[in-house]
Amino acid sequence: MSSVILSGFLLLFVDASLTWTLWSGLLLVRGRGASAAEQWAAAALKWALLDVMTRAVAPKKEQVVLRRLCALLVLLPCLLRSGSGLGGDPVTAPGLAGQLQVSLCSALSCLFWETAFSGGGGFTEEGKVALDTRRLLARLLQQFRPDFLLLTAACGFIILTVACDTLIPLFQGTVIDMLRGGTLDGFYTTLGILACFFVGSCIFSGLRSGSFNITHARLNKRLRMSVFRTVLSQEVLFFQENQPASLCSRLESDVHQLGLTVSLNFNAVLRSSIKTLLMLVAMLYQSRPLTALACVEIPVLAALQRQQVRYHKELKEQKQDSLARLKELSHQSLGGIRTVRSFHGQSDEAQRFHRELQRLQEIRIRARRHKTFFTLLRRLGSLVTKMVMLLAARSLMSGGQLSGGTLLTFLLYRKPMSHNLKEIFVCSGDTLATLGIISKVFSYLDRSPKRRADGHLAPDALRGEIVFQNVTFGYPSTAGDEPALKDVSMVLEAGKVTALVGPSGSGKTSCVGLLKRLYDPQRGDILLDGQPLHAYDNAYLHRKVVSVPQNPVLMRGSLRYNVEYGLEDCDFRQVREVATKIKADRLLAKMEADYDADVGEGGAHLSEGDKQSVALLRALVRQPRVLLLDEATSQMDAHTQHAVLEEVVRCGCTVLMVAHRLRSVERADRVIFMENGVVMEEGTHAQLMAMEGRYQGLRQELSDQRP
């Protein structure tokens, strides 16, 4: 920090020396002041020299800041004095006061930028963070690309609004001077122009805000859609680590917050920056000493804002996390209302919710407290500069250097400039404080699913033979524990019914999950007709390998929607045929009465047996080659169960039936017995029944079946 300040002073000194050397040279050659073009050429030369010197002398870390200072030192005097050059009068060399003014303004602006926006830039070791911040912001701005035209129009409206707003005080001051002087020459014309600027400001401001609001709405929709799509494509285990309710909250609240912060703050910062710049020029035109005093407020505000952002960022992230947790809690309690009621858990749930609400309230109160404290400091700073400025104005007026009208115009500019500065700091600070949320949203967008890429195999004919080859699989969330499946090898013959039997936790459902490609095994392979599962096209695979779980999840919507889920060409005749075969008479009657009847949230309007029937229908109308039944008929009556088994055996596809009881898989061609993630025995149903004494799990299963 101290070394960059030292280098800065050195640069100011070199700049002053170069300026006077160049101007003296010009005077010697030309004998008079320079034209505007010559002034810009001299500035370009000076810029090149300063840049070379900075690169040669300063350490790399400080170069970014110093090169910004160089640019200001060169451009500021050119911009300030180009008016006289364009008017035809030659531009003369700056005096000591002029040079000091330029140096001071450049140094202050640089300080302001570094403290408020650059996140330390070259000042601190936080360079990497600052770079990440910039990259993140640049990436965020890229999100606006599809609305480029709308945004350009909005920027145009900003410039027009600001131009009107800037000219209004100027004409107000003129009107007051006219009234005080008693001359009414041109009074009504000036008043008319003033009215035009007022009307213009209103119209352009409305158009500006409308354009930004539309941009915000569009950005919001685009971002939500992209995040939703990316989240949907993630592997199943991602949803185990990230609770769906919490993801929903991220999708709604974080994305909304991001869109709001960015588009509204972008609008506010852009508008206020242009206004501040124009007002600064207008104020300089009114009184340079008063402008210099008014500018003292800038670095003070910037430093305060930087501190505030530091606290605010952390609190904002905590707030979003707490909101996500609240959503998760309410989702859990309301979603499981039957369990809550059955165990009279209302007060427990209410207490958990209350504790989280309390936490959120504490975060909000802390944020408010910080805000109040910083607002107080900011207002104090502003008050002090205002007092000093009024004292200076008094002495300028008594010396005859300032008229009442000019002071009024100056004050009319100063107040909104102060307000604009505050808006720049607050909005840019708010955007920086939202960076945590922004990076979270981007982390979802950038996340690629952690599973093997899908292949392209989609053969017309599929026999449906499945082979597990030394498959080992463990869930990442239980990484330290034993794997769920250990070196499992088995064959499901094409067109035959194989039953997977074993006690709870033996790994049967994990086998089904692997066959559905919800997960990939850590070791070994699963082959379908001799090809690894991941070599198949994903959509094809899910058409050919279909599963029916014990507790099927139905979507909110009609019976039709649930039965034909994901199918494009399915007619009711097909559905009726399958429903008749599996003797789902009650469901069929319901469908015939009203196929578009709503099944309720998660199928709440249906009985458990009917839900299983819907899931079976959904699977069978797809005419799969491999059917995975994970205790799929456990909730059905014996009559329907029997019909389903008959139909499944008749359909000719490869069937894997998962069951606890040997009795329920009598029709299976082959039975595989599993325990603790290992295949223990294979054989016919009769062979397995004969092994009762050999395995405790099997003994238990069989003894369960005896009266």
Ligand X SMILES: Nc1ncnc2c1ncn2[C@@H]1O[C@H](COP(=O)(O)OP(=O)(O)OP(=O)(O)O)[C@@H](O)[C@H]1O
> Between 115 and 612, whose beta carbon lies closer to ligand X?
612
> Between 321 and 630, whose beta carbon lies closer to ligand X?
630
Name the closest residue to ligand X (Cβ): 509
Q: Is 484 in the site for ligand X (CB under 6 A)?
A: yes
Q: At what angle do helices 638-650 and 608-620 cross, to 10 degrees?
A: 10
**Segment near ligand X (CB under 6 A); pick from 171-179, 198-206, 432-440, 471-479:** 471-479
Task: Give the nearest distance from C-beta 524 to ligand X in angstroms.
Answer: 16
Distance CA 243, CA 604 (A): 22
Which of 189, 443, 504, 703 is close enough to bind ligand X by CB under 6 A?
504
Q: Is 238 in the site for ligand X (CB under 6 A)?
A: no
Query: Are 4 and 66 in contact, with CB atoms under 8 Å apart?
Result: yes
Q: Is 475 in the site for ligand X (CB under 6 A)?
A: yes
Residue 251 carries which side chain, given as an amino acid letter?
A: L
**Segment near ligand X (CB under 6 A); pick from 313-321, 475-483, 530-538, 557-565:** 475-483
Q: Is 240 in the site for ligand X (CB under 6 A)?
A: yes
Order across the sheet with 523-528: list the strands: 485-492, 466-473, 523-528, 531-532
> Between 342 and 477, whose beta carbon lies closer to ligand X?
477
> Between 372 and 478, whose beta carbon lies closer to ligand X?
478
**Segment near ligand X (CB under 6 A); pick from 115-123, 243-251, 447-455, 508-516:** 508-516
Give me the phi and psi of 555, to 5 degrees please. -85, 155
The token pair at 90 is 């030659």
Q: Is 189 in the site for ligand X (CB under 6 A)?
A: no
**Segment near ligand X (CB under 6 A); pick from 214-222, 357-365, 506-514, 591-599:** 506-514
Distance CA 16, CA 196 (A): 44
Q: At what angle do helices 288-295 and 404-433 cross, to 10 degrees?
A: 30
Task: Give the nearest distance from C-beta 664 to ligand X in angstroms.
Answer: 13
Give me the phi and psi of 527, to 5 degrees please. -110, 140
**Segment near ligand X (CB under 6 A); pick from 459-467, 505-513, 645-653, 691-699:** 505-513
Distance CA 61, CA 125 (A): 9
Which of 143, 506, 547, 613 is close enough to bind ligand X by CB under 6 A?
506
Provide the residue count of the chain.
Answer: 707
Task: Give the nearest distance from C-beta 486 to ligand X in angstroms.
Answer: 11
Which of 508, 517, 618, 625 is close enough to bind ligand X by CB under 6 A?
508
Q: Is 505 in the site for ligand X (CB under 6 A)?
A: yes
Q: Is 510 in the site for ligand X (CB under 6 A)?
A: yes
Q: Which of 541, 600, 501, 232 is nearest to 614 (CA)?
A: 600
Task: Give the nearest distance from C-beta 682 to ligand X in angstroms.
Answer: 16
The token pair at 22 is 């160049």
DSSP state string for 17-62: HHHHHHHHHHHHHHSSPBPHHHHHHHHHHHHHHHHHHHHHHS-HHH
Which of 122, 507, 521, 609 is close enough to bind ligand X by CB under 6 A?
507
Q: How many residues bind ligand X (CB under 6 A)?
A: 14
Task: Give the nearest distance from C-beta 693 to ligand X in angstroms.
Answer: 22
Query: Are 674 and 508 in contact, with CB atoms under 8 Å apart?
Result: yes
Q: State how far the alpha carbon of 434 is from the alpha carbons of 128, 265, 372, 439, in Å.
A: 18, 11, 19, 9
Strands (E), 351-465: none
Pairing mode, strands 523-528 and 531-532: antiparallel
Task: Give the nearest distance from C-beta 373 to ligand X in angstroms.
Answer: 47
Task: Give the nearest distance from C-beta 64 to ligand X in angstroms.
Answer: 49
Task: Give the nearest distance from C-beta 307 to ligand X in angstroms.
Answer: 45
Q: Is 633 in the site for ligand X (CB under 6 A)?
A: no
Q: Is 516 in the site for ligand X (CB under 6 A)?
A: no
> Between 346 and 478, whose beta carbon lies closer to ligand X?
478
Distance CA 108, CA 112 (A): 6
Binding site for ligand X (CB under 6 A): 240, 475, 477-478, 484, 502, 504-510, 660
